[in-house]
Structure 1
Amino acid sequence: MSGLDDLQADVTEAYEDIDGELDLDRETTNELAMLAAGLGTDTDQLVERAVHLLFQTTVDSGKLDFHLRSAYDVTYDEYLSGMTYEEMTGGSFPQPETNDDRRYQF
């Protein structure tokens, strides 16, 4: 058996395991199966890593804060501290008095 045949067998086996465990679309199942076979890592660990990476990227880019502010009127930092900026500072969050168009700059 060649390396290509071995890889195909491992990917197929991982695909079948994933397909029975998780409700994913075909493309995601294929990608997860390839990662599991290629990295030799359990699919549960790969899903944990993927969620952590997505979470970290979303926090770092400011996207989580944007969505939290839109839906709950708080940021992730406020959630972590258990207090809003207003409660922390005793007033409103400082905004530039003259130029409000820079408010959502990344």
Structure 2
Amino acid sequence: MSLDDLQDEIEAEYAAAGEDLSVDLDRETRNELAMLSVALDPEDVDELVRRAVHDFFQATVERGTLDFHLRSGYDCTYDEYLSGMTFDEMTGNQFPQQQDDDDRRYQF
């Protein structure tokens, strides 16, 4: 898959997420949500879910987990997605390495 495939799937998910989202909660999640709701006293529980998505996204970006999954599935990173170009496109692929010479790949 490519950067264009990633963009297409994000746009499709964005459109689908705009509709009402129904999530079944297990016992542990319901208990944690109740605790957060009482402690933080948001205007509504939906606000806690929005905050949770923001926090999870930020943590995933900071740990590099998002880049790992994007590289595995789409052969690009989050930075490449944001710029709209792969690293090779940005640099013009000036220093291509031979793929079949593994014993030399760590030599400078």
* TM-score, shorter chain, exceeding 0.5: yes
- Kept in 2: contact 1:86–1:93 (CA 8 A): no
List structure 1 runs of 4+ shifted beyond 4 angstroms. 92-95
Post-superposition CA distance 1:28-71 (Å, at most 9, x none): 01110111112111211111111111100100111100010001
**Which protein has greater RCO, CA pairs closer than 8 Å, 6+ apart?**
2
Instruction: Report the equivalent of 2:35.
Output: 34
Cα distance in 2, alignment partners of residues 79 and 40 from structure 1: 36
Cα distance in 2, alignment partners of residues 30 and 66 from structure 1: 31
The structure with the largest helix share of the pair is: 1
Post-superposition CA distance 1:66-100 (Å, at most 9, x none): 010001100000001110000000006888x525x
| Greater Rg by CA | 1
Post-superposition CA distance 1:1-27 (Å, at most 9, x none): xxxxxxxxxxxxxxxxxxxx6411111
Comparing 38-47 and 72-81, the one that deviates more: 38-47
Cα distance in 1, alignment partners of residues 88 and 34 from structure 2: 47
AA aligned to 2:80 is E
1:1-80 pair list within 5 angstroms = 22-41=23-42, 42-80=44-82
Cα distance in 1, alignment partners of residues 32 and 41 from structure 2: 14
TM-score (norm 2): 0.65
Cα distance in 2, alignment partners of residues 27 and 54 from structure 1: 17
- Kept in 2: contact 1:85–1:93 (CA 8 A): no
Among all aligned residue pairs of Structure 1 and Structure 2, give the percentage whose two residues are the same amino acid: 67
Q: What are the ranges of 5 or more consecutive residues in structure 2 without an aligned counterpart?
A: 1-21, 98-104
Q: What are the ranges of 5 or more consecutive residues in structure 1 without an aligned counterpart?
A: 1-20, 100-106
AA aligned to 1:98 is Y
